[in-house]
Amino acid sequence: MSDTSKFPLQLKKPSWVDDFKAFIMRGNVVDLAVGVVIGAAFTGIVGSLVKDIINPIIGLITGGVDFSNHFIILKGTPVATLADAQKAGDVTINYGVFINAIINFLIVAAAIFWMIRLIQKVYKTPPAPEAAPAPTPTETLLTEIRDLLKAR
């Protein structure tokens, strides 16, 4: 038996590993991770709200306009829908999809604004009690005189 088999190989843990663990386990990093996951789920909900509810209403108001099929063909053959243009490999500017993205962003921003506003109202912290004003020089002098008289 060789001498190396008596002592198993031990790797030294890099010094940054403990720092990394401390960083990851900070409360704000964990809160951020939870926020990202909830934000992704919330974005899916808002995406459905925009696509399935708001865009049809906008389409009804504007006379059946569907923004997602508004595009400009830069190179290729004219087709009726964006899906057909993409299937044909045409080069397009999809400004309707961009308009949908803007509408989606505005709705997400408004929903988050109203949610945070509601949360702030629910968890409104009571105002901090006002600190007593600092004593005037006269009050300080009178306090010192009182303390001297007590000491006698």
d(C-alpha 120, C-alpha 128), whole Å = 16
> How many structural domains are present in the chain?
1
pTM above 0.95, yes or no: no
Q: Apex CA 49: angle with CA 58 and CA 42, to 5°?
A: 145
In a domain, 61, yes or no: yes
Total H helices, total E strands in the chain: 7, 2
In a domain, 8, yes or no: no
Tokens of 134: 């600092």
In a domain, 1, yes or no: no
What pLDDT does residue 119 have? 83
Q: What is the mean pLDDT of the chain?
A: 82
What pLDDT does residue 3 have? 54
Question: Tokens 């005037």, residue?
Answer: 136
Percent of the chain whose predicted confidence (pLDDT) is above 70: 93
In a domain, 150, yes or no: no
In a domain, 135, yes or no: no
Q: Residue 10 CB: number of other CB atoms within 10 A?
A: 6
d(C-alpha 114, C-alpha 122), whole Å = 12
Considering only residues 98 and 28, tell me which one the structure prediction assigns the higher pLDDT.
Answer: 98
pLDDT digits (tens, 9 = 90+) for 52-93: 887 788 778 877 766 778 888 889 888 888 888 889 889 999
Nearest of 82, 77, 78, 74 to residue 99 by alpha carbon = 82
In a domain, 151, yes or no: no
Q: For residue 46, give its domain range.
A: 15-125
Q: Apex CA 69: angle with CA 65 and CA 71, to 5°?
A: 115
pLDDT digits (tens, 9 = 90+) for 3-45: 555 666 777 888 888 888 887 777 677 788 888 888 888 878 8
What pLDDT does residue 4 have? 54
In a domain, 136, yes or no: no
Mean pLDDT confidence for 122-130? 78
d(C-alpha 26, C-alpha 24), whole Å = 6
Question: Tokens 């010192």, residue?
Answer: 144
Residue 2: pLDDT band (50, 70, 90) is low
CATH number of the domain at 77, please: 1.10.1200.120
In a domain, 58, yes or no: yes
